[in-house]
Structure 1
Amino acid sequence: MSAIHQHPSHIDRAGELRTNQSTLDTLWQKAKIAHIADGRITSVDEKLTFASAKEIAALVDSGKFESGSRYFLGLDLADRTPYFVWDTQWIGEVSDEKKSEGFTTLREVGAQLSPLEFELALHATALSNWHRAHPRCPRCGGATRVDLGGAARFCDADQSQHHPRTDSAVIVLIKDRADRILLGHQPVWPEGRFSTFAGFLEPGETFEQCVSREVFEESNITVSEIKYLGSQPWPFPASIMIAFEAVTDNPGDAKGDGEEITDVKWFSREELKAAAKDGSLLLPPTISVARKMIEGWLGEVALGGETWR
């Protein structure tokens, strides 16, 4: 299997601009601004929608949304258009139906977005998740505020600066010598949903060691010939998926651990296509690196649904 195709970045994150608030204020006035509220991002007809600074000010004045925070996402590499995200929430009790009007989640719309929009949405979602989860200083407990255009938070009490952390996780396509792949089922998923194996990197562990450990813990098999395939940001809430393939010489030993993985199945290409076609197999979402790994092995676009849970 070849490496997973990686889109080049369409955004210059322009970190040198983050340190000057007056520069950021000037950029805000001419920026395209995505709007995130309670984890939902503005979207119409499966495309992101962007507002102007004046439109955002009008939304604040309307009393529907809190004043929120601004995060600088960067400059379009093609035309240097600045992009920001405005991160806020509704004021008062608002129904889920109302919140869905003009808004969607990255999970729902990700597969339909352009590479530029997907990159912006990933960045915006990750920043929103991190800022909401870190309102206080981990050193002294004091309140923190947005710093560096959203790239950090700052504690005025002890003068410490804090930066987003991303959790590294490996995800593995396991093959045997007959070039079948092994997929596993988690108990939280619907019946028939299978995917590749994944787990978080532990302290002091290499990615390759993590691959071997996670595969053995979840499927009871040992692997070799571990090869890097690519990576994907996964801000649900704050991960980077590091993709590998690996080969096992003991496919007959495969079994789920009974907790994280309750069932495992080997698939040839024909078996996978048949199961996906008749609906007995549900595959991971098309925006996921897991789906890309499976389709890279399959050699074609796979059927199999758009199932998250």
Structure 2
Amino acid sequence: MSAINQHTSRIDRAGELRVNQETLDQLWQRAQILQIAEGRIAAVDSKLSLINAEQVAANIAAHTFTEGSRYFLGLDLHTKAPFFAWDTEWVGTIADEVKEVGFSTVREIGSLLSEQELEISLHAMGLSNWHRAHPRCPRCGGATRVDLGGAARTCDADGSQHHPRTDSAVIVLVKDRSDRILLGHQPIWPEGRFSTFAGFLEPGETFEQCVAREVLEESAVVVTELNYLGSQPWPFPASIMIAFEAVTDNPERAQGDGQEITEVKWFTRAQLLAAAKDGSLLLPPSISVARKMIERWLGESAPGGQTWR
């Protein structure tokens, strides 16, 4: 079977354009702009609601939203039309139910967006999360400002420049020699929610070492025959998921560690389909690489399973 998430980019990030503020200002005036408001993206009927620079200015003038920050996302590969994100907040005290009107989260609608829309949404959210979490310089504590079209922050006090970081994490589909898969349940999830095993890369560790360690820690099984499947950006808040499948020769040892994983289950294809259909098994959402890994093994789409917690 083919790998997962190996699609080519729909966006030219055009990094060479980030260094010239005058060029960025010109691009902004004709850009398609994705608005982010306090972690939500502007979308209606599961489609992004892209706006233009005049509409941004009108919202600021009306004191509906703060001036916010601009992030250059790149150019359409074919039309060369520029895309930006406008990262802002509502002005004043606004009820949560009002904020949901015309806005959604990438998690909620990501699986319904086009590939290009999802790509710019993940890029925009990753930048937004990083900028909001790093308002000050880690060297001197001084205030930092958005620089290079959102690709960096600069501290004017000591002249240092800081760039977004992405946390690497492996995610693993564990199989046995009978081609069953092992899924685990985390205590923070609702009853019946099971997924693949995952964990963050530690300093000085290879992806392969991380796969073996995380699976052993969480499920007590030893894995071999690692096979790389693909990767997925996961800016919730700042990860990249590196997907593998692996095989164990000691399936009978499988058990949760009691902390991160409280229950594990082996599934044949027939068992997984039956449990998903009757609702006793809740799978990861269809936007996630975990769901794609499971469906790749299954050979078809699995029913249900849009829970996040």
* TM-score category, normalised to shorter length: over 0.9
**Aligned-pair Cα RMSD in Å:** 0.6
Structure-2 residue corresponding to 1:115:
115
Tell me the secondary structure at the aligned position of residue 292 of structure 2. helix
Q: What are the superposed Cα offsets for residues 46-86 of structure 1, whole Å, 9 maximum, x if unpaired? A: 00011110000000001111110000000000100100000
The one-letter amino acid paired with 1:195 is S
CA distance in 1, matches of 2:9, 2:2: 20
Letter in 2 for 1:219: S
Equivalent positions of 1:95-244 (< 5 A) are: 95-244=95-244
Instruction: Report runs of 4+ in structure 1 exceeding 6 Å deviation.
Output: none
Query: Residue 304 of structure 1: CA displacement?
Result: 2.8
Q: Which residue of 2 aligns with 1:3?
A: 3
* 1:290 to partner: Cα distance: 0.2
Aligned amino acid, residue 256 of structure 2: G
Q: Give the corresponding residue for 1:13.
A: 13
**Aligned partner letter, 2:131:** H
Report the secondary structure of 2:252's partner residue.
helix
Structure 1 counterpart of 2:222, one-letter code: T
Query: 1:176-235: per-residue Cα shift (whole Å, max 9, x none)?
Result: 000000000000000000000000000000000000000000000000001100000000
Cα distance in 1 for residues equivalent to 2:4 and 2:305: 21
Give the structure 2 partner of residue 308 of structure 1: 308
Contact 2:35–2:87 (8 Å) recurs in 1: yes
Other-structure match for 2:84 = 84
1:68-122 per-residue CA deviation (whole Å, 9 max, x = no partner) reads 0000000000100100000000111111111011110001110100000000000
Offset of residue 174 of structure 1? 0.1
Cα 1:5/1:146, change in 2 over 3 Å: closer
Please identify, of 297-306 and 153-162, the stretch whose mean Cα deviation from structure 2 is larger: 297-306
Q: 2:84 is paired with a residue of what secondary structure?
A: strand
- Please give the alpha-carbon distance, in whole angstroms, between the structure 2 residues aligned to 1:30 and 1:199: 42
Q: Amino acid of the residue matched to residue 80 of structure 2?
A: R
Contact 2:5 2:231 in 1 (8 A): no
**Deviation (angstroms), 1:289:** 0.2
Does the residue aligned with 1:243 lie in a helix, a strand or coil? strand
Whichever residue aligns with residue 199 of structure 1, its letter is G
SS of 1:260's partner is coil
Which residue does the alignment assign to 2:40? 40
Question: Structure 2: where are the runs of 5+ without partners?
Answer: none
Indicate the residue corresponding to 1:55 in structure 2: 55
Code of the residue aligned with 1:121 in structure 2: it is S
Q: Which amino acid aligns with 1:294?
A: I
Q: How far apart are the structure 1 equivalents of 2:93 and 2:124?
A: 24
Q: State the one-letter code of the partner of 1:243.
A: A
User: SS of the residue aligned with 2:93?
Assistant: coil
Check the 8 A contact 2:5/2:232 in 1, yes or no. Answer: no
Q: TM-score, normalised on structure 1?
A: 0.99
Q: Which residue of 1 aligns with 2:283?
A: 283
Partner-residue secondary structure (3-state), 1:273: helix
Give secondary structure in 1 for the equivalent of 2:111. helix
Identity %: 73
Pairwise CA distance, 1:5: 4.0
Residue-by-residue CA offset, 1:13-46 (whole Å, 9 max, x unaligned): 0000000000000000000000001000000110
Q: Which amino acid aligns with 1:212?
A: A
CA-CA distance at 1:6 after TM superposition: 1.9
d(CA) in 2 for partners of 1:158, 1:184? 47
